[in-house]
Structure 1
Amino acid sequence: MPETGDAWLGRVVAGRYQVTGTIGQGGMGTVYEAEQLGLERYVALKVLHPHVAKTPGAVARFQREAQLMARLKHPGAVHLFDHGADGDILYLAMERVFGLPLDEVLETYGQLEVKAAVELTARVLDVLEAAHDLGMVHRDLKPSNVMLVGELSAPTVKVLDFGLAALVHEEPQARLTGSGQMLGTPAYMSPEHCRGEPPDGRADLYSVGCLLHELLVGQPPFGDSPAVEVMSGHLYRPPPPVRQLRPERGIPEALEKLVLACLSKEKALRPASARELASRLRESLAPPPLRGEGKKQERTQPPPVPPPAPSPELLARPVGVIEPEDSTHSHGITTALAVAGYRVVPCREDASLEGLHALVVVPRSDQAQEEALALASTLTTRPHAPPVLLCGSGEDFSLMSRAVAGGVYDYVPLPLDPTDLARKVGRALRSRR
């Protein structure tokens, strides 16, 4: 039985749920194990954190979770038994699922066989198909939200935690997380989710692509880098092909193409539905057809090609830099760009932006990053504004997400990596036709 280290052990909620242990904690609440008195069954009792209940929209999201769970009836979804309030305590009483979260399975037993990884992913898609048919989007699909129940050789899959779920056809004013507000797990977030755009089912399919990538190669597409770099990868960088990363796994070419399709930056290029993706995943494991000369040999994947060096024409385009005169806080942005060969133009906040092809904004100090964000967002709306890049702390996920939602072209983490800065400025210059 799970242990609990707080005062909830033995507490009776709503007169019928006696807490016996703690299952886990999340951003919105704690999930306890509880016995439903009179029925002698165990339930998972999710209780909203008191401090969270005071934040705008949190209570509404919690109540919405109950409504969504009640509508979703699928063997792979957790069933809701009850919900309500006990004084100022909001709770959900759900099916108690006994099993292993997928992240713990991977940590304990290592990687799954390719066939098992595909079948598990297809079963997750079966649950998402039922949710999408109701107009629901999960928005936080990741290994810890996939539970394997029963024998690991042939487990039943349960998809947990629809707490961030949204309805595709809600009116904008009814979207409880709000435009531009980041909720989710960066390693598995779609580009449109990173930008704070309204979701649809194809955002979940991107997350499925991240999940399958991890099952096949051992990590999500953009690894365990800082959150700001992971989000930048989702927004701008091509995902690494799984066959290049793990050639010894014998991953079929058709499966690699499906993973890359799921991870397309443009959602229109992803599979059309969870149903279609599940079908194509299972088909990807079928052996290739026989040809007259025998079975077609798998083509050797060429090695990755490094990005081309900036052309002289690109290097001639002016790059504006707004940075503090104090060299302590300039972070060497101008120097790094000059060394890379770019034509740097020092700028002031009130100067005209006409003629610039990119603009880099550097905070006046480590304490002035919010001020720099406000300036960068304002500059994006100015006449003749080029792509604007904002420099900021590599540990500040909130700053990066708000910058992207506010129209900033890219985010440059500090301390500075000169190669990363040159690459991102080059990409901004190429986007300025």
Structure 2
Amino acid sequence: MDPVNDTPNRATDGRADPLIGRVLDGRYRILTMIAKGGMGRIYKAEQQPLNRIVALKVLSVPPTDAGRGEDFRQRFYREASICSKLTHPNTVRIFDYGKSDDGIYFIAMEFLEGRTMRQILADEAPIAPWRVIDLLKQICSSLAEAHSMGLIHRDLKPSNVIITTHADGTEFVNVVDFGLVKDLEGAFGDGEQTQAGLIVGSPMYMSPEQILQGELTERSDIYSLGVIMYGALTGRKPFKQESALALMNCHINVPPPPFAEINPELEVSANLEWVVMTCLAKDPKGRFASVQELSRALSACDKELRGMVTGLQLEIQEGRVILPLELEEHLSRRPAGSSGPYSGSLTLNRPMQVEPPPPRRVGLYVGLGALALLLFIGAAVLVLVAGTDTPPEATPAATVAPAPVEPAPPVEPSPPDGAAADTPAVPTPAPPPQDKPAATPRPADKPVARPADTPVTKPADKPTAAQPADVPAEPPAEPDKPVAEGTDKTDPPPDPGAGDDWGKPQSDIRNPWED
């Protein structure tokens, strides 16, 4: 329904509205008209004797023969009964419905003081992405209840979304004008959807299957949500045509242009644009399977926007959003049916990694194990070769020389290499000293203590601590490479998050929101 600015006692064509001032069905005193649509008008009325202000929708039913009129009556009461059971906070409540003595069908609904989304977009579009996400998630919450009851809205557009503001400044969505009347046109003539002003839906927001009079499902409503999001984020409608026929052809055959073509200055994340384009898929199977799936995708984009997720790349399989496990678990903390404005209570203490982290400790453990083995072998060599605490230059060879079965003279140049040369020197000296370890237990305590302390604190300092003369030697730095590699793997990959600077480019269309 479109809001009107008429005087309280005049109809839109300038003639006096006969319903103004009338008490309809003995209960509703009509005060003024507030909106009009293809199948009726909405009035501000007072429900008596409760003195409650309501929005009274009066249906404009074309004259029909008795058979079709009865069909309409049955459809009206059946769907009105279903819609009256909608109780979600983001859905406008239906209080009453019926038919007056003079044949006027009416629906009494909750009266709201607020602005339509159409008015907000006309004044402020493009609006900030976080705000679009918030409003759309609330719309999804309303639709989820209706879809679960088999109701398809069929006419989602900004003028059917009323935004009220709470005392704390948060915006609250109220979805109006559900599919209650949209299915009633079947009572008139051969099931046509485009008869004598009974077009079901607005051409700007109609899905391809709706235009082609195909089967309508909840994915048809999702397409309409995609058109709303496209305009809210870019400040432009996806298609701009002079005639309704040309516009409908675009919905069926023409892909919507990328955001960058509409406005190069827009700062909308690739994931959020992907969500919009997925909603606008020509084939219903390419869209989200439900508004719950759309809401999950929007929640993931919200996390990315707030810097809680990095490296996010959304995908869809058979209508379901594929999310990383860690993000999936975090989103599940918020009840799926919850509604209302988003708060900052979901902020994480650390940025969430979208991809599962690689095994980072394995390299560290392997490096430490290899280092420990090298140090043990080096200690054994020092015990057998060094013999004393004297610097291992030419003296260690003299100390080991008295050993009876000593084939170590060819290994005399290896002691100066210390632990760094331990790996190649291990096969030769190790077997002979084992024959006579009796004279070496006492000196062994000192060399073992020195290398053992060194790798715990700083493995690279071992050669300089044990032998200052070996400072020029380069090999001691080589055992440190496994440790350095293991240490690097523990650091999380630096994945930049989405930027938070959401500047609002100015729209160059004066009033792009005519439905």
Separation (CA, whole Å) in 2 of partners of 1:246 and 1:48: 41
Deviation at 1:257, TM superposition (A): 0.8
Counterpart AA for 1:158:
N
Matched, 1:154 2:170: yes
**1:7 maps to what in 2?**
18
Matched position secondary structure for 2:123: helix
Going from structure 1 to structure 2, the CA distance change for 1:193 and 1:216 (only over 3 Å counts) comes to same
**1:66 maps to what in 2?**
80
Of 191, 202, 208, which aligns to 1:178? 191
Matched, 1:40 2:51: yes
Counterpart AA for 1:242:
F
1:45-81 CA distances to partner (integer Å, 9 max, x unpaired)? 1112254677866555543442232122211111111
Aligned residue runs from structure 1 range 101-180, under 5 A: 101-151=116-166, 153-163=169-179, 178=191
Counterpart AA for 1:72:
L
Of 219, 242, 261, which aligns to 1:202? 219
Work out whether residues 53 and 111 of structure 2, in 8 Å CA contact, stay in contact via their aligned partners in 1: yes
Separation (CA, whole Å) in 1 of partners of 2:256 and 2:223: 12
Counterpart AA for 2:130:
K
Q: Structure 1 residues 176-185 or 139-148, which shifts more? A: 176-185
Separation (CA, whole Å) in 2 of partners of 1:4 and 1:213: 38
Q: Structure 1 residues 260-269 or 180-189, which shifts more? A: 180-189
Work out whether residues 243 and 251 of structure 1, in 8 Å CA contact, stay in contact via their aligned partners in 2: no
**1:273 maps to what in 2?**
290
Separation (CA, whole Å) in 2 of partners of 1:176 and 1:44: 30
Aligned residue runs from structure 1 range 14-413, under 5 A: 14-49=25-60, 51=62, 59-60=73-74, 62-87=76-101, 88-151=103-166, 153-163=169-179, 178=191, 181=194, 182-285=199-302, 286=304, 287=307, 288-289=310-311, 292=493, 294-295=495-496
Going from structure 1 to structure 2, the CA distance change for 1:112 and 1:178 (only over 3 Å counts) comes to same
Separation (CA, whole Å) in 2 of partners of 1:177 and 1:11: 36
Separation (CA, whole Å) in 2 of partners of 1:210 and 1:177: 30
Separation (CA, whole Å) in 2 of partners of 1:90 and 1:158: 23
Deviation at 1:223, TM superposition (A): 2.5
Work out whether residues 76 and 180 of structure 2, in 8 Å CA contact, stay in contact via their aligned partners in 1: no
Q: Which has the higher strand share?
A: 1
Work out whether residues 136 and 165 of structure 1, in 8 Å CA contact, stay in contact via their aligned partners in 2: no
Work out whether residues 210 and 263 of structure 1, in 8 Å CA contact, stay in contact via their aligned partners in 2: yes
Separation (CA, whole Å) in 1 of partners of 2:38 and 2:30: 20
Separation (CA, whole Å) in 1 of partners of 2:189 and 2:218: 17
Separation (CA, whole Å) in 1 of partners of 2:112 and 2:64: 26
Separation (CA, whole Å) in 2 of partners of 1:71 and 1:52: 30
> How many corresponding residue pairs?
294
Counterpart AA for 2:493:
G
Work out whether residues 65 and 162 of structure 1, in 8 Å CA contact, stay in contact via their aligned partners in 2: no
Work out whether residues 182 and 200 of structure 2, in 8 Å CA contact, stay in contact via their aligned partners in 1: no
1:219-267 CA distances to partner (integer Å, 9 max, x unpaired)? 3211354211111111111111224322322100001111111111111
Deviation at 1:273, TM superposition (A): 0.7
Work out whether residues 9 and 19 of structure 1, in 8 Å CA contact, stay in contact via their aligned partners in 2: yes
Going from structure 1 to structure 2, the CA distance change for 1:31 and 1:53 (only over 3 Å counts) comes to farther
Going from structure 1 to structure 2, the CA distance change for 1:24 and 1:230 (only over 3 Å counts) comes to same
Matched position secondary structure for 2:58: strand
State the TM-score, normalizing by the size of structure 1.
Answer: 0.62
Q: Structure 1 residues 221-230 or 133-142, which shifts more? A: 221-230
Going from structure 1 to structure 2, the CA distance change for 1:256 and 1:110 (only over 3 Å counts) comes to closer
Separation (CA, whole Å) in 2 of partners of 1:33 and 1:221: 34
Separation (CA, whole Å) in 2 of partners of 1:240 and 1:203: 20
Q: Structure 1 residues 48-57 or 203-212, which shifts more? A: 48-57
**1:372 maps to what in 2?**
none
Matched position secondary structure for 1:108: helix
1:350-393 CA distances to partner (integer Å, 9 max, x unpaired)? xxxxxxxxxxxxxxxxxxxxxxxxxxxxxxxxxxxxxxxxxxxx
Counterpart AA for 1:124:
I
Separation (CA, whole Å) in 2 of partners of 1:24 and 1:238: 33
Separation (CA, whole Å) in 1 of partners of 2:181 and 2:139: 15
Separation (CA, whole Å) in 1 of partners of 2:25 and 2:284: 44
Matched position secondary structure for 1:132: helix
Counterpart AA for 1:203:
S
Which sections of structure 1, spanning at least 5 residues, go unmatched?
Answer: 299-433
Counterpart AA for 2:42:
V
Separation (CA, whole Å) in 2 of partners of 1:251 and 1:177: 45
Q: Over alpha carbons, which structure has the higher Rg?
A: 2
Deviation at 1:22, TM superposition (A): 0.9
Going from structure 1 to structure 2, the CA distance change for 1:64 and 1:52 (only over 3 Å counts) comes to farther
Going from structure 1 to structure 2, the CA distance change for 1:99 and 1:261 (only over 3 Å counts) comes to same
Work out whether residues 269 and 498 of structure 2, in 8 Å CA contact, stay in contact via their aligned partners in 1: no
Work out whether residues 60 and 176 of structure 1, in 8 Å CA contact, stay in contact via their aligned partners in 2: no
Which structure has more relative contact order (CA 8 Å, sep 6+)? It is: 2
Matched position secondary structure for 1:295: coil
1:392-420 CA distances to partner (integer Å, 9 max, x unpaired)? xxxxxxxxxxxxxxxxxxxxxxxxxxxxx
How big is the alpha-carbon RMSD for the aligned residues of Structure 1 and Structure 2?
Answer: 2.9
Counterpart AA for 1:28:
M
Matched position secondary structure for 1:137: coil
Work out whether residues 101 and 145 of structure 1, in 8 Å CA contact, stay in contact via their aligned partners in 2: yes
Matched position secondary structure for 2:271: helix
Separation (CA, whole Å) in 1 of partners of 2:64 and 2:107: 14
